[in-house]
Amino acid sequence: MVNGSMPPQRQRSTPSVTSRLLRVASLHPAMMVGFAILAALVGASVLAPLLATHDPLLINPVARLRPPSREHLLGTDALGRDLWSRTVYGGRVSLAVGFSVAIMATVAGLAVGLLAGMNRLADAVLMRITDGLMAIPAILLAIALMAIVKASVGTVIFAITVVEIPRVIRLVRSVVLSVREQPYVEAATTLGSKFHRIMFLEILPNTIAPLTVQATYICAAAILIESLLSFVGAGTPPEVPSWGNIIAEGRNYFMLAPRLILAPGLVLALTILAINMIGDGMRDLLDPRFADKP
């Protein structure tokens, strides 16, 4: 007797989160290395009170310029402050500036870029302002803004954010101008979809991938600009430990104690390298042309 019932269909198994992470790690090992390095640096900064062996602001003239030892892992600076503790605490300021600028510049640039891409009159006005800001070198514009306001971590974040917003605006505008000419956007417009619906459902999702990649580069650039501002004396106040301040204070003693610059400099370079590795990996991961290639 033939069974007339249909054979059970085999259900397609959904890959688990672990398998997806392993696949991403195999396809983009450099990105995963960057994530690991950045996670270690962020963890060290968060746990600075536990990892630091001394008060980073404690001045001890008797112990000035001491070499590395059990008591002072990286030695002391010209004022007798523990270099290891200052480097660990300096990561808090530098990373906070980088992450804050990346978030604020991305959000502000996204809003302005969407407006410029969807409105021709706003585009004409906003793009001229953006071109004027981008014509000034980033570091010079940041120094000019810092000269107007009082030096603090908040003003440093504000100054660097103003510098980075025009780059995000131009990126979002270019994506909007390209996407709004696509057939599915024209079809939605023909069918009578409202402006805000087209904006948030059809155009905005297409900006997520390039903005994610751009945010990583903004974060790295912000950390570097903050260090440059602090190095030239236009950044965070001298009493606030940041990698730029530590390097600036140690440059006069480089021939006598190179570690005063090398220690924070290496950490700064490692941080920027890790963020750039993440950005390159995210670019390949989010690009459909390279996402599935081994």
Question: Please, which pLDDT band fits residue 1 given cuts at 50, 70 and 90?
Answer: very low
Backbone angles phi, psi at 189, to 5 degrees: -65, -40
pLDDT band at 201 (very low <50, low <70, confident <90, very high): confident
pLDDT value at residue 186: 73
Contact assessment for residue 210 and residue 175, using Cβ atoms and an 8 Å cutoff: yes
For the segment 228-247, the average pLDDT, to the nearest whole number, is 86
CA dist 194 and 202 (Å) reads: 11
Task: Say if residue 294's pLDDT is above 70.
Answer: no
Residues 8-21 have a mean pLDDT of: 54
Mean pLDDT of 174-189: 80
Looking at residue 184, its pLDDT comes to 75
Q: What is the pLDDT of residue 22?
A: 67
Residue of higher predicted confidence among 278 and 184: 278
CB 217 within 8 A of CB 272: no
Q: What was the pLDDT predicted at 21?
A: 57
Mean pLDDT in residue range 34-57? 92
pLDDT at 287: 66
Mean pLDDT of the chain: 84
Mean pLDDT, residues 144-167:
87
pLDDT of 100 over the 90 cut: yes
Neighbours of 120 (CB within 10 A): 8
Residue 87 has pLDDT above 90, yes or no: yes
